[in-house]
Amino acid sequence: MFDWSLGLIRRGQNTTMSTSSPTILITGASGMLGRALHRLLIQETSQTYNVIGIGFSRLTVNHYHEHFGGASKTVELLQLNLLDVDATTEFIERHRPDIIVHCAAQRFPDAFESNIEESIQLNVDSTRHLAKLCRESTSPSRPDYKPLLIYISTSYVFDGGIESKVYPPYMPESKANPINSYGKSKYDGERAIREVMNDATNNVSEGRGIIVRVPLLYGEDCVKLDEAPALEMLKVLLPSSSTTGTKKKIDDWALRFPTSCEDVARVLKLMIDHAFVDNQFAGTYHVASPYGITKFGLLQLQSRLLNISKDEVDDRAEGADDPKAANPSAAPRPQCTQLNCDDTWAALGKTFEFAPLEEAMGRATQGFPKRFLDGT
């Protein structure tokens, strides 16, 4: 079990403390990344951390799907509307988390465009409010206590060089220049972290914020293809899909670096553990698989893993080098936003080995199509 008193001694701060386990609060715990982190912390650190998962509309998650070879276990989440400022303030004051991992977001660029006001409230305003709560929080039992806020951002803060002329792979300090509203909102969320917490003062007592940029994510436990943009192409291969008429055009232009939420959760756990022994741990970090592929390339890989013939894929889909041809109404995307993760591994003192794309994608697509038919 983590020794909280040892953590305070290492921080060089007052050793008056609570003997209870540190509390980790995960927002968006019903989403792909949130539930992967929630599951991991409950499985591996239940004797070390008190883990609280919150959601809004979906308050139960299955943490041991048969897909993983384990018995099913339904986990209840606490309900919180992050857009309700008063409710959020009361919730944080009541539960006193030591670390908040802010996974909740509108993460679909096209959906963002259709509901911009509420999306900005979630991606930007709720982030700023959580940052202020972390900076201003105090604890009678731990007068030095200031929660750490870990904010999940995106590689879409970069433009692929189209306007900035700054090209990938991107370092954390590379110039950001988002080209769609979603990317801009996530960058505005980053700015909120820096303005409220990291740049407020050099004194750590003002609070610490960590920004984690990730690329295209997919969950290995999804039962809805729409939940993961790295899986939704498989809809063209569902039995209900028509085999006649115009083929579905799928983007074969933008190079993505699809990364398993399970891998990102493991890196986030390393960050959480590290934060308790390093009071200077803050700033911006990248977490991304090194395996690049287009969406049409993903469909071809997935079909091979599922033993679906090339002829069947060719009959239903074709690659599109023009992103507008693949989806005329889609928000603009950069062609490549590869992230360099060297600073992350240097800060953590270890290198993380991401699962090979074929291996992790095999787990993510296992049971297709039956597993996904009820969720599409």
pLDDT at 250: 95
Cβ atoms of 163 and 179 within 8 Å: the answer is yes
pLDDT band at 19 (very low <50, low <70, confident <90, very high): very low
pLDDT in tens, 302-322: 999 999 999 999 999 999 998
Q: Does domain 4-220+258-289+337-355 have CATH number 3.30.365.10?
A: no
Q: How far apart are CA 73 and CA 93, in angstroms?
A: 30
| Residue 65 in this model has a pLDDT that exceeds 80 | no
Q: How far apart are CA 54 and CA 45, in angstroms?
A: 18
Q: How far apart are CA 184 and CA 86, in angstroms?
A: 26
The CA-to-CA distance between both ends of the chain, in Å, stands at 42
User: Can you read off the two tokens belonging to residue 6?
Assistant: 């040892």
| Residue 24 in this model has a pLDDT that exceeds 90 | yes
Q: How far is CA 229 from CA 80, 225, 233, 235, in A?
A: 26, 8, 8, 11
Q: How far apart are CA 191 and CA 176, in angstroms?
A: 11
pLDDT in tens, 112-125: 666 777 788 888 99
Highest mean pLDDT among 54-68, 161-175, 243-257: 161-175
User: Can you read off the two tokens belonging to residue 31?
Assistant: 């989403």
pLDDT in tens, 89-118: 999 999 989 999 999 887 665 666 667 777
Antiparallel, parallel or unpaired: β 248-251 and 317-320: parallel
**363: Cα separation from own chain's centroid:** 19
pLDDT band at 184 (very low <50, low <70, confident <90, very high): very high
pLDDT at 3: 33
DSSP assigned state of 175: P
Q: How far apart are CA 364 and CA 376, in angstroms?
A: 15
pLDDT at 111: 64
pLDDT at 207: 60
Domain boundaries of the chain, sorted by first residue: 4-220+258-289+337-355
Residue with structure tokens 């004797």? 47
pLDDT band at 56 (very low <50, low <70, confident <90, very high): confident
pLDDT in tens, 185-230: 999 999 999 999 866 544 444 568 999 999 999 999 998 998 999 9
Q: How far is CA 22 from CA 50, 71, 199, 218, 285, in A?
A: 6, 28, 26, 29, 23
Which residues are registered as beta bridge partners of 27?
102
Q: What values do phi and psi take at 254, rounded to 5? A: -80, 130
Element (H, E) at 11: helix 4-11
Lowest-pLDDT range of 69-78, 158-167, 170-179, 363-372: 69-78
pLDDT band at 131 (very low <50, low <70, confident <90, very high): very high
pLDDT in tens, 260-272: 999 999 999 999 9
pLDDT in tens, 320-339: 998 887 777 777 889 999 99
